[in-house]
Amino acid sequence: MEKKPHNVRRESPAREVPALLLVLLLATVLFLNGLLYLYLSNVKGSSGRAGADPSLCPLGYFRLGAVKNCSPWLSCEAISKEVRKLKRVGEGAVKKVFLSEWKENKVVLSQLTSPELQEDFLHGLKMLKALQSKHVVRLLGYCEQQFTILTEYHPLGSLRGLNETLSIPKYKGLNTWHRRLMLAVDYVSIIRFLHSSPLGTLVMCDSNDLAKVLSQYLLTSDFHVLVNDLDALPLVNRSAGVLVKCGHRELQGEFVAPEQRWPHGAEVPFDDDLMPAYDEKTDIWKIPDVSNFLLGHVEGSDIVRLHLFDIHAACKKEDPAERPSAQEVLDTYRRVLTLLIREAAMPGTREML
């Protein structure tokens, strides 16, 4: 009987490990790509009807909290009878803001501060009604006769408090470059939405300094951005020769766009009649400054800024016509988000091999 040789080589089981790790690597990359696809699909879905959110009720209705059914916007009578003020939480030039309660839900009640500002208040209400979407705070009711607006309450407040919110232990895990970049994507999505709204091209005029801009936006509990204040939102219509001016006083500082500053020098006193009008590209000029705040100073944020350098430089062109559109800025932000999330997924998985 022939003896079997003792030196027959057997495949080492250890060689099967890299194959298993490769499978895990591919599964990880596919999973991350799937998450990224779902996120970007959700963002890109805003190019439909004014950024319509399928979960929203029909225009004129709202759904609040865990309630499944849609309710009609509350009327003057319903607001008067059913809404209870709790405390004043803020006051701007146009509105006083009260934390309030409606059927055990916290809500926000806004009321006119001064009769001289009725036109601004009613314009803001008109915009709020017409622009209801995933980008805009949810309207719950209003009373024109009493100059009252009721909106959804967001406990994290405005974007001005973002850094303070992210320093709270509960939210520290969200203080990452990718979460902050997603907030910047939300912000630019809102600018794009306003520039291509169902009403036409709208300019965010209440934006003369960074703190003022940030106060116009809310941070939701699931860490998205909504625009909240639409009192100063004039319409640009280039084909009809309609441009805008953000107020009737002189604007100064590097935050506002060059075309918003007095062009005739200090030797000529400011005269609103001599001040040229401008278009929506003033919003584009401000995007880099707002995004710089949103990105903060966390690990990885400088890499994000490096990838956004060229588009931000284009936003800061002196000539408004040379600046990109909000859509072009948004497309760039999305590409950078996609690229950096994929790059972030690879180093750790490569180490597994």
Residue % of the chain over a pLDDT of 70? 82
Domains and their CATH numbers in the chain: 70-152 (3.30.200.20), 157-345 (1.10.510.10)
pLDDT at 57: 87
Give CA–CA dist 333/181, Å, rounded. 8
How far lies 152's CA from each of 136, 225, 251, 284, 290, in Å?
A: 10, 14, 33, 28, 24
Residues 6+ away with beta carbon under 8 Å from 211: 160
Are 96 and 88 within 8 A, CB to CB?
Answer: yes
Give CA–CA dist 353/349, Å, rounded. 7
pLDDT at 352: 42
Token pair belonging to 164: 């303070």
| 146 backbone φψ class: left, alpha, beta (φ>0; ψ -120 to 50) | alpha
Dihedral, CA of residue 33, residue 35, residue 41 and residue 43, to nearest 10: -120
Token pair belonging to 4: 């079997």
Tell me the pLDDT of the chain averaged across its residues: 87
pTM of the model: 0.84
pLDDT at 20: 65
Give CA–CA dist 78/108, Å, rounded. 15
pLDDT at 351: 45
Band of pLDDT at residue 344, cut at 50, 70 and 90 = confident
Quote the radius of gyration of the chain (alpha carbons, Å): 26
Give CA–CA dist 83/104, Å, rounded. 10
Residues 6+ away with beta carbon under 8 Å from 302: none
pLDDT at 114 over 50: yes
pLDDT at 189: 98
What average pLDDT does range 334-350 have in this prediction? 80
Give CA–CA dist 311/320, Å, rounded. 14
Q: What DSSP character marks residue 4?
A: P
Look-up: residue for tokens 């497309």?
331
Band of pLDDT at residue 338, cut at 50, 70 and 90 = very high
pLDDT at 21 over 80: no
How far lies 215's CA from each of 135, 184, 218, 277, in Å?
A: 15, 15, 8, 25
Q: If you write DSSP's letter for every residue of 295-334 in order, what string do you get?
A: HTTSTTHHHHHHHTHHHHHHHT-SSGGGSPPHHHHHHHHH
Give CA–CA dist 288/310, Å, rounded. 11
Are 217 and 161 within 8 A, CB to CB?
Answer: no
Q: At what angle do helices 326-352 and 177-195 cross, to 10 degrees?
A: 160
What average pLDDT does range 86-98 have in this prediction? 92
Closest CA relative to residue 290, chosen from 246, 333, 230, 344 = 333
Q: What is the pLDDT of residues 239-253, one digit of tens each?
A: 898 999 999 999 999
pLDDT at 270 over 80: yes
Least confident among 65-74, 116-125, 209-218, 266-275: 65-74
SS3 115: helix
How many CA within 13 A on the CB side of residue 176? 10
Residues 6+ away with beta carbon under 8 Å from 337: 36, 40, 178, 181, 182, 185
